[in-house]
Structure formats: structure tokens, C-alpha cells
A and B are shown apart, each in its own frame.
Chain A
Amino acid sequence: MRALILVGGFGTRLRPLTLSRPKPLVEFCNKAVLLHQLEALRQAGVSHVVLAVSYMSDALEAAMREQEQRLGIRISMSHEKEPLGTAGPLALARDVLAEDGEPFFVLNSDVICEFPFAALARFHRQHGGEGSLVVTRVEEPAKYGVVVCEADTGRICRFVEKPRVFVSNKINAGLYIFNPGILQRIQLRPTSIEKEIFPAMAQDGQLYAMELQGFWMDIGQPKDFLTGMCMYLQALRAQHPEKLHSGPGVVGNVLVDPSAKIGANCVIGPNVTIGAGVVVEDGVRIKRCTVLEGARIRSHSWLESCIVGWSCSVGQWVRMENVTVLGEDVIVNDELYLNGANVLPHKSIAESVPEPRIIM
């Protein structure tokens, strides 16, 4: 089987992290977002994955080669000269996707969940329609476009953008499977699959919805990245509790890379991910944070709801909170207070940031 991952642009919503590396390579719970997806696709029997990108990146290409080796699958890149939206890339990669005549997967690269690709393929074969999409339930449907479908078959009747009265609580989760026939519907030009292709397919009775079990999160923004991390760690607790860290000073779900070092008298968790080679000195308190590879958190600091970028150094008695995001190699001097700061890579912070803002 084939799969197409819609990577798209530079991931501006996840800046400043994406200023240092392409969004698919940012680690989510100690594993690049792309790897979460590639591994799940491979497990569902996919042998060739196409990344639809609108920019070129040596780092991404190198990572692709490495994963090809590791996973034993083919990974290629489909480069858009101009942004083609969410459907255009399918037309661009037409040759690969239609090659084996089998249904193929398409997914948004920002989505994190327990990817149900095998179940989706089964569901798709059962109903025999042209396309299937995964839907997930949300609490406040009025914020999203919702999917209205038949309760028994899952056949989609219509899409309603930001409904003002309740019609459905299911939204498009950004994971699809299509028969190659869908390619007849798509021209090689900027096109929205959600707004232009899906409504036509639904009208033809060719689009079905499968409800997702478990958590789902679009982690395209730092705030949601952290929420997604909490969900992922909770799921890990249920399925692979042995992967979570335990011991004195560990509270709740905490994921720690084996190469990380944590000092004495720390209290870590709940909901913390500590990356490879990270050093957490003595007496540090961390909750609801992701600390990326190579960072150092110096003693007596206090962190909540932060993403600490690669190779950052956070000084002693620093307090960081409220979705503070440090780009790569940021130095935070001792005793500072960062409240919702968004710090671009390679900055040295010498003054407190008492109110949320971007530090250029």
C-alpha cells in the first residue's frame, strides 16, 4: 500500500521550534512526529510513503533516507512548486499513489492519535465506497467543521462548517483512505480536499466516516502540542506502562530518555517528557513540559507548561510557565521569570518576561 503525508509549509504555527528543523522532525514524546506516523503506516502494510512538501530540506531528506533503512520501506518526496492546498498534492503524486491500484492513505502531518490505519483499511474495504475518513468527537463542535453521517453505515451525508445549532459532534480527524479513483476528481492546482472534493464525494454517496477510538490532537501549535503530549502519555500509561519513568520524585506520567540525567531532590511530573542527553540538575520542579534533546535545566528552577528547545540552558531559580517555548540553543539567565515567552533560537535572555510575548 501507499500513503501520502501532507507536510506542506514551514510549520509557522509551531515556531520557534520549526525555525530550527522541519516540523515532521520535531520530537513529540521523544520521537519525531513523522516517525509516529511512518511506524504506524508500516505496521498497516504500507511500503511506500510520499511526503508532500512545499519546501526543500536537507535535514528532512537525510531523515527520510535513515528511516527508509530502519523501517525497510520506501519514502519519497513530492515537492510542490506552489502550495497546492490539501488536495492538489494528491494529483502531483498521482503516479505513485495509483501505481499498485490499491487504496492509499492520506494524512495531515500535524495529527497525533493512536493511528487506526489497519482498521481504517478494513472499514474501507467493507463499505466499498471511494473514500473513508476518520472522525473524532469534540466537546464544542461549533468551533469546527462537523461531519454528519448515517449512524449505522457511517456514510457521510454532509459537512457543516462551524454549526450554530447542534448537528453532530464529529469532526474530520485528518486521516483518510481513498481508492485510486479519487484522483479523477482532483486537478493539479491549489485545491482544498475538505471544501471542494469531500462535499462532492459525499453527494455521490462515496465517502464514509469511521469513528476514532482514543485520543486525538492537532499538535500544530505549542499549546496543543502540550495537550497532545498529556493525552499521549496517558495512552502510554494504559498500553505500555513500562515505558514510563518511575521512582522517587516522579509524579504521574513521565517519559524520560535513558540518556537523560535527573539530579537529586527534583519533582518531575505529571505529564513531562525529557529528551535524550537532557540534564536536569538538583532541586528542579517540572510539570506539563517537553524538554528537548541536549537541554540543561539548572538547579532549583520551576517549569510548568513549557517546551524547552534543543540544547537550551535554563538557569538556576528560573520560573517558566504559561506555554513558554524556547527555540533551539536559547540561554535563560539565572533567576528570571518567563511567562508565556516565545523565544527565537540562539537568544540569550537576560531579563524577565512577565507578560506573554515573542522575544526576537
Chain B
Amino acid sequence: MPLKAVILIGGPQKGTRFRPLSFEVPKPLFPVAGVPMVQHHIEACAKVPGMKEILLMGFYQPNEALSRFLVSAQQEFKVPIRYLQEYAALGTGGGIYHFRDQILSGGAEAFFVLNADVCSEFPLQEMLEFRQQHGDMHSFVILGTTANRTQALNYGCIVANTGTQEVQHYVEKPSTFVSEIINCGIYLFTPAIFQHIGEVFQRNQQELALEESSNGWQRAEVIRLEQDVFTALAGSGKLYVYKTDGFWSQIKSAGSAIYASRLYLNQYSKSHPERLAQNKPGGPVIRGNVYIHPTASIDSTAVLGPNVSIGEGVTVGAGVRVRESIVLHGASLHDHTCVLNTIVGWDSTIGRWARVEGTPSDPNPNDPYAKIDSETLFRDGRLTPSITILGTLLLVTIPAEVVILNSIVLPHKELSRSYKNQIILCAYAGSTCCVQGLGSNFVCFSTKGHYQHHLATPTLHYLLSATPWKVLAHLQDLGALNVPVMCRQLTHRNRLRALDFSMIVTA
């Protein structure tokens, strides 16, 4: 049976909780367990018999990193892979509707749709078999999994017939408990799905035509599969849920990338034992599951693992300890450094005896259905070390012997001292600008000097090039801080409001 797969990779305005990592590479290409996040999806799709083509769909501008990845993935998995660029963010349903001809070309009888920001065992074959078993080849299948009662509220919740697994009710992020079965963001559709999406499109168009000031069809094409389509399909006998007990997690925050890495590394012991580092004479000490890129240079006295991924060209010195961390390509960890629960950014340098540590945000290990929380970075006005992973370093130089604890350091920063529980926003030599938890109710936004900095990302560039009080005023206009702000070394004090850190950077 001819099959296709669509992987929804989103765009630069999405995945803000993944900042500052997503400034450097598109989030779907961020390495999880040593390979780009979406490669796990592609690999799973390529394994399904009859897979004719894999389409990545999103609203990233075509870029070199993405093109290079597509070429190498095509070669590796021997299946055509293309990128389809949406002209705007069209939602999870709008994109596939817009490109329906591309998806159906070549006579695809069914196709998978996978969100890029999940990690999973991807039981695609099982979803096909499930559809065959319950006998209706024209039905649609959602991959579902069990969450606990509290966390289910953060997901799409599915109520299904316990016998047939037909979806009777679907609701996205309800405010009260509906069901423990949640939507994994992985679907199996037949071409008939486009009729249902098309109905939503028609309805949107009609509604918009009645609104005088609307700008027409563009907004009609923004369609959310979950709210607009599944909710309507529930109870119609066409939508089923296939429940998996395999691992699954969202990858929303940097902290969840480390958790997802652990899940994939764990899977490698069966699927890709060759990707897991082994203890060898003359090699570093490996504890648990560790991925080391072949080009990385690791001293034999280093101790790595569990759950460590070491990227291309990384240098790890003598007596270095790395645990529960991702070290991205080109980074250099000098002798005796200790790196725990951290993402070490591209080409960062950590001086000897420095300690870089974050706080894990793992799901409750005693609850088999617990999922990782991807909340905002602040709670009650304080940076919460408990939630996101921190100590994110990109092109950052950490001097010898300091401790960087629960902090997010933005790119191109040379630190000169220890930092704890802070977001170090930006800087070039001689200037510092950081957000920190202070007491119980303050965010401190401190700065020295003016910025003269050039970064590719225009939004960040604005922040970097503006004078500090302009930044603060702008943040205030945006309602960008939900906590009182104290301006150190500035002439006035401001009380600002904001949603979270992602807003700050967007400003």
C-alpha cells in the first residue's frame, strides 16, 4: 500500500520555550541522543513498508542546515524527503490542507502526520495493523497514551469506546478532567481527512466573509487539526485512538530535550547498539547510556554518563565529569570540569574546575503515567530551578573554577564570575545584562554599558542594540514581564509585567 508521512516542523516563531537553543539551529534539527530531533521521526517512517515519500512541512525559510540535513537523510534512509514551506503559520491542519495535492501525489492511500516536537517509539506499523484489525480502512487513527489526571489537562484529551477504541469525545487542553488518554501528536489519515478539513476551511471562509475588516482567505486557511477537526469528528465513527504503552514525551523546553535524549538512548540498546559508547581500554569511563560522536576527542580519565550525548568535534579534557547532559558540537570542556543536567552550546568553552549544573525537570519517577512539565521559567516571580534545564551555553566562555548554577546564558557571552539562578541575556565584552530571581518578588534586570552587537536573529538584535531603558520601556509596552522589575544602574525604577522569558527575548 503506498504510504506517505508528513512531519510538522513549525517555524521560527514557534518553540520559544526552546530558546536560546533555537536561535542557532531550527529546533527540529536540535540533536537529541546524537541525531537531529526529526531524524528519529524520519527513521521510524522509513521503516514502514510502502513509504513512498516523507514531507517536512513548516514555515522556516529554506536554509542551509535544513537542506544539508535533507540530503544526508535521503541518502541514509533511501526514501525521498522534501521540505514544503508554508507561506505563513497555517496551524496543524492548514498546512496539510494547503499541500494536499503534494501529499496525495503518487497515489498515497494513507499518510501519517507527526509533530516534530515529540519523542516516541513511533509505533507506526502498529497503528496500521490496528486500523486493519478493527476493519474500517477509511478511519483515522490518533496515537494516544495515558497521562495522570492532573497533567492530562495540558494535552488533548480523548474519550474512547473501551471496546472498539472509537473516539467519542475530543477536547484540547480542558480546564477540568475529561480523560487520562492524551493525544500524542501522531496520526494516521486517509485522503478523506481533506474533506473534513475542507469543511472547516469553507466554514472559516464564510465566517470571515461576514466580518468586514477581515483580510479574506488567508486566515481561513489557518486550521487546527485538534480543535477544529478532531472535536467535530469525535462520535462520528471515523476517528479511533490507538493506545501505546511505549515511551513518549513532548520536547518543548531544553529540559525535556535531555529527558527525550535519555528515552532515545535507552532505545538504542535495542535499535542502535552501535551508537552507544562502550567501556574500552584506553577510553573514557562510560556509565549507562552515552552517545559520543566519532570525531569527539575524549580523555581516558573522563567519566561520562548516564544520559550524555557528545557532539561533533567536542573536546573533553582529563578528569572531566559529564552526566545527564548534551554537549553540542565544537564545545570544549577543560580538565576537571563537572557538567550536570546541562546543555553545553555550540563552540562553548568551560574552564578547568568549573562546575556547570542545572536542575533536572524529570517527570515523577514513581508515577508511570507522569509526563514532563514544560512550564514557564518563572513561578511567583522567581526563576524556577526545578523546571527547565538550565545552564544553556552557546558560544559562551566559562572561566576556570566558577560555578554556573541553574542559569541560562545567551550566546556570545564571556562570563567573568559565578552565576546562580539567572538568565544572562546578552552582552559583549564589558557589558552584562541579566535577569535574575531576587528575593521573592523581583526580577532584576541589570546592565552595564551599551550594546553594539550583531546577531542574525532580528528580534534578539533589537534587544541587543537598544539602550537598556528602551528595552525596559518596550518590555513594559508589550506587557512582557509579570513580575516587578528592578533596574540596577538605571536612573528609574519600573514595574513591568510579562508572560515569561520567551516574551522577553521576543521583545
Contact = CB atoms under 8 A, between A and B. Distances in A.
B328 interface: no
A282 B405 contact: no
A300 B338 contact: yes
Interface string A282-302: 110100000000000001101
A126 B405 CA distance: 61
A302 B355 contact: yes
Nearest to A321: B403
B319 A300 contact: yes
Given A285-B401, A302-B401, A335-B323, A317 B338 contact: yes
A304 B319 CA distance: 19
Contact of B321 (A317, A337, A352): A317
Contacts of A319: 338, 355, 403
Given A283-B336, A300-B336, A354-B405, A335 B420 contact: no
Interface string B335-348: 11010100000000
A172 B214 CA distance: 85
Which residue among B323, B335, B353 has the maximum number of chain A CB atoms within 10 Å of its CB?
B353
Contacts of B323: 335
B420 A354 contact: yes
Contacts of A283: 301, 318-319, 335-336
Contacts of A282: 319
B273 to A, nearest CB: 27
A316 interface: yes
B353 A285 contact: yes
A192 interface: no
A249 B355 CA distance: 20
A57 interface: no
A352 B340 CA distance: 12
Interface in A262-308: 265, 282-283, 285, 299-300, 302
A90 B295 CA distance: 76
A201 B140 CA distance: 100
B401 A299 contact: no
B226 interface: no
Nearest to A282: B319
A335 B336 contact: no
A352 B385 CA distance: 13
A337 B319 contact: no
Interface string A302-324: 10000000000000110101000
A284 B355 CA distance: 13
Contacts of A316: 303, 321
Q: Give the contact-size bracket for chain B.
A: 10 to 19
A299 B405 contact: no
Interface string B312-331: 00000011110100000000
B335 A337 contact: no
B353 A265 contact: no
Nearest to B421: A354
Contact of A265 (B320, B335, B338, B405): B335
B401 A337 contact: no
A352 B403 CA distance: 13
Contacts of B335: 265, 283
B53 interface: no
Contacts of B373: none
A265 B318 contact: yes
Interface string B349-366: 000010101000000000
Interface string B398-426: 00010101000000000000001000000
B403 A337 contact: yes
Contacts of B357: 337, 352
Contacts of A352: 357
Contacts of A337: 355, 357, 403, 405
A254 B357 CA distance: 30
Which residue among A285, A317, A335, A354 has the maximum number of chain B CB atoms within 10 Å of its CB?
A317
A282 B301 CA distance: 11
B149 to A, nearest CB: 29
Interface string A326-337: 000000000101
Interface in B158-191: none
A285 B336 contact: yes
A335 B319 contact: no
A339 to B, nearest CB: 8
Nearest to A319: B355
Nearest to A354: B405
A338 to B, nearest CB: 11
Contacts of B318: 265, 283
A47 B321 CA distance: 57
Which residue among B320, B338, B405 has the maximum number of chain A CB atoms within 10 Å of its CB?
B338
Contacts of A265: 318-319, 335
A130 B319 CA distance: 63
A321 B355 CA distance: 12
Nearest to B406: A354
Nearest to B354: A302
A282 B336 CA distance: 10
B251 to A, nearest CB: 26
A300 B321 contact: yes
Interface in A324-360: 335, 337, 352, 354
A80 B413 CA distance: 62
Which residue among B301, B318, B319, B320 has the maximum number of chain A CB atoms within 10 Å of its CB?
B319
A324 to B, nearest CB: 13
Contacts of A299: 319
A337 B335 CA distance: 18
A190 B202 CA distance: 96
Interface in B169-226: none
Nearest to A283: B319
Interface string B25-51: 000000000000000000000000000
A184 B318 CA distance: 69
Nearest to B335: A283
Interface in B95-129: none
Interface string B241-264: 000000000000000000000000
Interface in A199-216: none
Which residue among A302, A316, A352 has the maximum number of chain B CB atoms within 10 Å of its CB?
A302
A282 B353 CA distance: 13
B405 A302 contact: no
A276 B324 CA distance: 37
Contacts of A302: 336, 353, 355, 401
B403 A335 contact: no
Interface in B401-456: 401, 403, 405, 420
A107 to B, nearest CB: 39
A282 B340 CA distance: 21
A285 B355 CA distance: 12
A317 B333 CA distance: 14
Contacts of B321: 300, 316-317, 335
25 contacts: A265-B319, A265-B335, A283-B319, A283-B335, A285-B336, A285-B353, A299-B319, A300-B319, A300-B321, A302-B336, A302-B353, A302-B355, A316-B321, A317-B321, A317-B336, A317-B338, A317-B355, A319-B338, A321-B403, A335-B323, A337-B355, A337-B403, A352-B357, A354-B405, A354-B420
6 A-B pairs with the lowest CB-CB distances in the bound complex, closest first: A317-B338, A283-B319, A300-B319, A317-B321, A300-B336, A302-B353
Interface of B: 301, 303, 318-321, 323, 335-336, 338, 340, 353, 355, 357, 401, 403, 405, 420
Given A302-B401, A321-B403, A354-B405, 7 more contacts: A285-B401, A299-B319, A302-B353, A302-B355, A319-B403, A337-B355, A337-B403
